[in-house]
Amino acid sequence: MTSARYLGVSFFKGRLQLAEVEHGKTLQLTNLAERETAIDFVQAGVNLAPDHPQLHTFVKELGETIKQNKISTAHISFALPADPVFINIIPVDSSLKGPDLTQYVQWEVDQYFPNVPQKDFLTSSQPLPETTNNVKHLFVVCVRRGMVGFLQKASAELKLKLHLVDVDHFSTEKTLLQNYPEVSDHPVALFGMRYGGVDASLVLNGSMIDYRAFVAGSAEDAKKAIQQYLKYLKERNSVKDPSALFLHGNEVSPEMPKVIHKETGLQCVALNAVRKLAASGKLYKPFVQESYRFAAAIGLALRRA
């Protein structure tokens, strides 16, 4: 297999996080970088387009960071914050397939955005494993086409190939499974601690089987959101309690895992995004020590296919 480097970029609280992974005989984390950005993807997300006035500022910021950190890659991927993305789990008749299923998903999205043309969204859906009473559940993600166009144009300006566009919390699942392979045979809960909210998902057999988002304006709200999600999981008869909790994102504080462990009785750790990943000795040590802030970017950079 030919060696190649992949760059992942995430957005947290007005900052860019960059992670570069070299795919060769082994996987090696070759770069971690961070900088402030003038564009807020949470606030500007719904209005982004290839002709957005801040495109060139974004390209300049990202290009400078790539150059300053001597990042050498031909492939770039972006992890979007959850706020400007439509994410939902919807129940559907298990008999629906093909065009009928697509039409039903589009109808569901229209109920949330009645005045937005369908062509303005890029929609993807995947079935979750749980099926009850002839009802299956679909995980649906809708991204504004303009946001993707903005990132495509920025990648082209940087002379890089756009590889993937994902949501930050879902990108982190790759980081989780790479660094904690032992969780593949039992359920664990993954919590994204972002400014103003918490993303929560259950990962079982290496795949996400549930997702919820919570508003959280403070650390206390975040703890309540975690308790609420665990209570919700307990009330689902078909789901076993998670054996461990993993935290990632910019709003993870050093004391948070200990506090949550004390309140829940479950093992809780800040996700170590370099635990099982070879890392260059040139990486900035504080970034390595707080690798949970780069978990989404690293997850993208780990994905070659």
From CA 32, how far away is CA 127, in angstroms rounded?
34
Residue 94 covered by a domain:
yes
Q: Would 228 be classed as within a structural domain?
A: yes
Over residues 153-177, the pLDDT tens digits come to: 999 999 999 999 999 999 999 999 9
Q: Do 198 and 293 fall within a single domain? A: no
Across-strand partners of 73?
none
Q: What is the pLDDT of residues 46-92, one digit of tens each?
A: 889 999 999 999 999 999 999 999 999 999 999 999 888 999 989 89
Q: Quick one: pLDDT at residue 209?
A: 87
Whether residue 280 sits in one domain with residue 266: no
Do residues 79 and 296 make contact, with C-beta atoms less than 8 angstroms apart?
A: yes
CATH number at residue 221: 3.30.420.40
Task: Please check the confidence at residue 247 and state whether its pLDDT lies above 90.
Answer: yes
130 with 100, same domain: the answer is yes
pLDDT given for residue 175 in this prediction: 97
Is there a domain that residue 260 lies in? yes
Write down which residue in 98, 129, 144 finishes a domain: 144
Beta-carbon contacts of residue 168 (< 8 Å; ≥ 6 apart): 10, 11, 12, 79, 80, 81, 82, 192, 194, 199, 249, 296
Structure confidence at residue 262 (pLDDT): 95
128 domain residue, yes or no: yes
Last residue of a domain, one of 129, 144, 159: 144
Residues 134 and 13 occupy one common structural domain = no
Decide if pLDDT at 132 tops 80.
no
292 pLDDT more than 90 = yes
Q: Tell me: do 164 and 62 sit in the same domain.
A: yes
The model's pTM is: 0.93
Condensed to tens digits (0 to 9), the pLDDT of residues 185-219 reads: 889 999 999 888 999 999 988 888 899 999 998 98
Count Cβ atoms within 10 A of the Cβ of residue 82 and give its class: 0-12 exposed, 13-18 middle, 19 or more buried: buried
Residue with tokens 């500007």: 44
210: part of which helix (H) or strand (E)? strand 207-216
Residue 239: how many other CB atoms lie within 10 Å: 16
Task: Identify whether residues 71 and 114 lie together within a single domain.
Answer: no
Q: Are residues 199 and 123 in the same domain?
A: no
Q: In what order do the strands lie in the sheet with 267-270?
A: 207-216, 196-204, 188-194, 244-248, 267-270
| Total structural domains within the chain | 3
The answer to whether residues 152 and 49 belong to one domain is: yes
Looking at the fold, whether 38 and 158 belong to one and the same domain comes out as yes
Q: Is residue 130 scored above 70 in pLDDT?
A: no
Residue 195 is predicted with a pLDDT of: 85
The per-residue pLDDT for 1 is 65
Whole-angstrom CA distances from 47 to 40, 51, 102, 156, 224 are: 11, 10, 26, 20, 32
CATH number at residue 123: 3.30.1490
Burial of 88 (0-12, 13-18, 19+ CB in 10 A): middle
Residues 108, 166 within the same domain: no
* Shared-domain flag, residues 74 and 154: yes
For residue 162, the enclosing domain spans 4-82+145-172+275-301
Nearest in space to 247 (alpha carbons), one of 159, 182, 188, 185: 188
208 shares its domain with 75? no
Q: How far apart are CA 191 and CA 252, in angstroms?
A: 10
The answer to whether position 177 is within a domain reads no
